[in-house]
Amino acid sequence: MRKQTADFLRLCWGQLRIADKEWNSEAEFFHWAANESEVDARAYNTFLTKLDDSESWSSDNARIVNIMEDSDWNLIQSDAIAFREERI
């Protein structure tokens, strides 16, 4: 796992700790993320997002999304966690 991805996952876990979620520890969350996309440095931004925002965070209801072009914004749900500030 690249450092940039690990930094993103730590940021996400900081927000997920108090959320309704499947993962009981940071280690479980990182284990799930090992099979997900990594943060792409060329992306406009990276988000952890739910597939169904009415359900809790889980391995079946979360995805890491790199925003590379305008159409990628359609992949973001309302409970998304952003990696960094949006660039202007």
pTM of the model: 0.85
Question: Residues 32, 34, 36, 38: is their CA dihedral positive or negative?
Answer: positive
Range of the domain at 17: 3-82
Give tens-digit pLDDT for 4-62. 899 999 999 999 999 999 999 999 999 999 999 899 988 989 999 999 989 999 999 99
Coil, helix or strand at residue 34: coil
Where do the DSSP E strands lie in 1-88? 45-50, 62-67, 81-82
Task: List the structure tokens of 59.
Answer: 């391995």
Nearest to 16 by CA among 55, 56, 53, 44: 56
Q: Give dist(CA 2, CA 16) in Å, integer.
A: 21
Confirm whether 87 is domain-assigned: no
Confirm whether 88 is domain-assigned: no
Number of domains present in the structure of the chain? 1
